[in-house]
Structure 1
């Protein structure tokens, strides 16, 4: 089985994949922990090995490990986890046998984040034609992937929680609110909390739809929009922009790279 680790700025997501060697893959379990570059391999092991056991798996069930990270400092300790507790030298996404394997058609190809590269790989394999991948994470990214699987560029915007943090942190009287789906489609709030939610939520929807439409115009061909990340489902209820919501897109990119490396 494959253990995939997707290291984001906020969380590390581990997924245990059953692979059939012919492109078929199924996630059997997944676990999430807060990203902390100081967390040692031993600390990861105490947590992860217990969770494996709870789900009915043994460490010997893991035969391959791949790590994709936008936090370079975290890679060393995850490598220690793989080598010390699983006796496996992990694949590092974008390096060696796990090179990206697609054209990165931008001015600075090496600056493309691992998560966006993995989304590109998975989107091209799973969906036809031109794609726009919207990933709702700490930042929200919009990435154009053409019908040949080449990465053509994109946009980085503050995530909705970062936007809310900036609003609350730089005002004296505005309260902390939770991001949630508004109870109505009205854009005229009757109290401070509702007005804040409307501004952040519907403002974010408007920003997202506007940027996607501009990207489509620049691409010049029909482009399917694929949404991923923790808040994708929340926004999907309030926009018609998404052709698919794929929560496992980044993890699937890791699994595809691992399959290629094994071949």
Structure 2
């Protein structure tokens, strides 16, 4: 049976077929705007779908966009499963008293990080928001933080003060140009939050966790963070792991 996995974010989607060993095949990333069905039509050939094919979906998108994705998948695949955050799975134990309140993308990123090795991890997602989660070597989640991403900060500043450009500029420690100053301030805010989280994590655990970055904006920050590891498809890796374990975990 052909199986596909889908990670539906706030502004873009990633999908991939699963190989025979359960690992990700060729990952496809695409923006979708409000036309979820159109984006899926362009990304998934009709030949790979049908009654004998199945799909696994994780979504943090709006209810309307999620419903559009579910409708499309239902019409194109014989079986679909939707990932939900679980209190424990694959050696990971979520810190939230109500696990349903932890975004499924954060849950899946933690699963995928733990599967990479039994060590402490600081898992940082950079998309619409910056999400930071601490996982110890035993798979215990210690909670995390959520903040606006540098891109969202820029857009919010531009909305409040139209003369400020929403894009452009380079990161500099002390910028001498408005675009550079905006890039430096917004990226610097995210970097400072990550660096503080690393320091606090080391104090809490007695060891410095490995830093694992994922999401569309992760690459822009990684070059400024010592020893950061990039995992562009970390959430999708988590969906694949969830699929291998079965819908009931």
TM interval, short-chain normalised: 0.7 to 0.9
What is aligned with 2:133?
A: 143
CA displacement at 1:145 relative to structure 2: 1.4
The counterpart of 2:207, out of the listed 221, 231, 234, is: 221
Distance 1:29 1:132 in 2: 24
**What SS does the corresponding residue of 1:25 show, helix, strand or coil?**
coil
Distance 2:232 2:119 in 1: 20
The answer on 1:247 being equivalent to 2:232 is yes
Distance 1:222 1:31 in 2: 32
**What SS does the corresponding residue of 2:25 show, helix, strand or coil?**
strand
The counterpart of 2:146, out of the listed 156, 159, 162, is: 156
What is aligned with 1:198?
A: 184
CA displacement at 1:254 relative to structure 2: 0.3
**What SS does the corresponding residue of 2:78 show, helix, strand or coil?**
coil
CA displacement at 1:135 relative to structure 2: 0.5
What is aligned with 1:132?
A: 122
Distance 1:234 1:196 in 2: 14
**What SS does the corresponding residue of 2:246 show, helix, strand or coil?**
helix
CA displacement at 1:127 relative to structure 2: 2.5
Contact 2:131 / 2:144 at 8 angstroms: preserved in 1?
yes
TM-score w.r.t. length of structure 2: 0.85
What is aligned with 2:56?
A: 66
Distance 1:80 1:99 in 2: 28
Distance 2:181 2:87 in 1: 47
What is aligned with 1:259?
A: 244
**What SS does the corresponding residue of 1:152 show, helix, strand or coil?**
strand
Distance 2:175 2:94 in 1: 44
In the alignment, structure 2 segments of 5+ residues that lack a partner are none
Larger radius of gyration: 1
* Structure 1 runs, 4 residues or longer, greater than 6 Å off: none
CA displacement at 1:6 relative to structure 2: 0.8
CA RMSD in angstroms, aligned pairs only: 2.7
What is aligned with 1:30?
A: 28
CA displacement at 1:170 relative to structure 2: 1.9
What is aligned with 1:48?
A: 40
Distance 1:52 1:34 in 2: 13
The answer on 1:80 being equivalent to 2:71 is yes
Distance 1:139 1:117 in 2: 15
Distance 1:99 1:82, change over 3 A: farther
CA displacement at 1:3 relative to structure 2: 1.2
Distance 2:178 2:70 in 1: 48
| Per-residue Cα deviation, 1:173-203 (whole angstroms, up to 9, x for no partner) | 323332x653xxx533222222222222334
**What SS does the corresponding residue of 2:182 show, helix, strand or coil?**
helix
CA displacement at 1:144 relative to structure 2: 1.1
Contact 1:93 / 1:100 at 8 angstroms: preserved in 2?
no
| Per-residue Cα deviation, 1:139-180 (whole angstroms, up to 9, x for no partner) | 1011011222232211111111111122222225323332x6
**What SS does the corresponding residue of 2:44 show, helix, strand or coil?**
helix
**What SS does the corresponding residue of 2:212 show, helix, strand or coil?**
strand
